[in-house]
Amino acid sequence: MNYYLWTIGCQMNFADSRRAVEALETMGYREADRPQEADLIVLNTCVVRQSAEDKVTGRLTSLQGLKRRKPEVQIVLMGCFVHEVPSLQQRYPWVDAFALPSDVDTVVDLARDLAAGVPHPAARDTEPPVARETPVSAGVAISYGCDHLCTYCVVRLRRGREVSRPVAEILAEVRELAAQGAKEVTLLGQNVDSYGHDLADAGRRADKGHWRPDLADLLKAVHEVEGLERIRFLTSHPADMTDRLIEAVARLPKVCEHMEVPVQSGDDSVLRRMGRGYSVAQYRDLVSRIRQALRPEREADTAAIPSVGLATDVIVGFPGETQQQFEATYRLLEELRFDMVHVAAYSPRPGTPAERLPDDVPPEEKERRRQAIDDLQERIVGEINAQFQGQTVEVLVEERHRGKWRGRTRTNKLVFFDVDGVDRTGQMARVRIQWTGPWSMQGQIIDVPQLGETDQEDEG
């Protein structure tokens, strides 16, 4: 039995797909290169932007003819595209099952029923399934859904209220990944900063009696997992990030100096219409506190090299956004100088409060604003990365890519270096940077320290 799985969207979707793949291959399924070769097709979907939704509908439409030719093929639609299932069943009658976001169990149940319906064992593959390599870096969901009410966002409507996974359950998954060879995990949630607020009393502190674990507690627990070298987390919400969490990042050596903190707009009135729950001044102060807390203590490390990698999200062309309000966003990004800016033009999402607002910024103006920020960010990150020229950085090697090894620094800088006849996958490599660009850097390997060693003086 073969499966074909297509995933689009956030890292949460990719983490859900990884879990689905592990379950399918445990049952003996093998991955097909094309949907035409599969017995089971799974589409894990996203609708956070109109462009993503368009890609999903295109994929769905492309499968209609395949289902007509091979009616025995089972098609599962999963993820944030799934809502109002009776309506979806009418629109896409060739889809056999609909699974809500992160509902991997529905996929597994259908796969089990499909496998059980094979008439004779000889019809199945008789060779053992090909062992799938565990990725060097893997995402682990720690919560699902979101309790914020951002007016433009469809996530709350599709994924529901926030539900945190118990610490023990998360640790079991992380330990299993580490035992299989993963060196880095990224803890995922629509809003990881509020992790644990919905959990029942899960333990006792000597000084405070019963307590509910928060993300700082979870980071400390995951930090103790043997074999794990790095920990990341995303996505954060500025209104929920605490000094306790920032201090935990600074204190725990395995937790990378890398945060994604979406700002969305640099104008207070736009932020209020978005329902974000913070002001530009509060956001600016948060960035300052993060950078101050993660600044290296030793004087030798206080050179121009950034001590923390900060990424953010921006929406341009939100209803009512004036040219002056856009320019405020532009100036804020110019001032704060992020390592990465994910910029998107606003598109109305069905059922959201913002859908009722006039979409009054013309498409061509949205694109002009989006391109202006892209151009600004290309210049800024090019200047940031240029500071790494001649520096030695620690790179966790993830894979071979177009004849080079590919990996990332603790601050999430993408680094390439030449293949040298040694399998570097999963190793910590010290790489001296010889070329920098806005989106990646290239260098030469110096040596490979033992796992757990770090080059604190040269780390970027």
* Per-residue pLDDT reduced to its tens digit, 390-406: 999 999 999 999 889 99
**Which CATH superfamily does the domain covering 2-123 fall into?**
Methylthiotransferase, N-terminal domain (3.40.50.12160)
Task: Report angle CA 94, 82, 346 to the nearest 5 degrees.
Answer: 120
CATH architecture for the domain at 137-386: Alpha-Beta Horseshoe (3.80)
What average pLDDT score do residues 83-93 get?
94
Rounded-to-integer distance, Cα 146 and Cα 338, Å: 25
Residue 144 has pLDDT above 90, yes or no: yes
Q: Which of 52-56, 124-128, 274-278, 417-421 has the lowest average pLDDT?
A: 124-128
Rounded distance, CA 333 to CA 280, Å? 11
Neighbours of 31 (CB within 10 A): 16
Please, which pLDDT band fits residue 121 given cuts at 50, 70 and 90?
Answer: very low
Average pLDDT of span 129-135: 65
The mean-pLDDT minimum among 25-39, 56-70, 122-136, 354-368 falls in 122-136
Strands of 230-234's sheet in order across: 137-141, 184-188, 230-234
- For residue 212, name the pLDDT band (cuts at 50, 70, 90): confident
All structural domains of the chain with their residue ranges: 2-123, 137-386, 392-447
* Domain 392-447, CATH number (from 1.20.1600.10, 3.40.50.2300, 2.40.50.140, 3.40.630.30): 2.40.50.140
If one compares 204 and 133, the residue with the highest pLDDT of the two is: 133
Q: How far apart, in whole angstroms, are the C-alpha atoms of residue 6 and residue 291?
A: 38
CA distance 84 to 161: 17
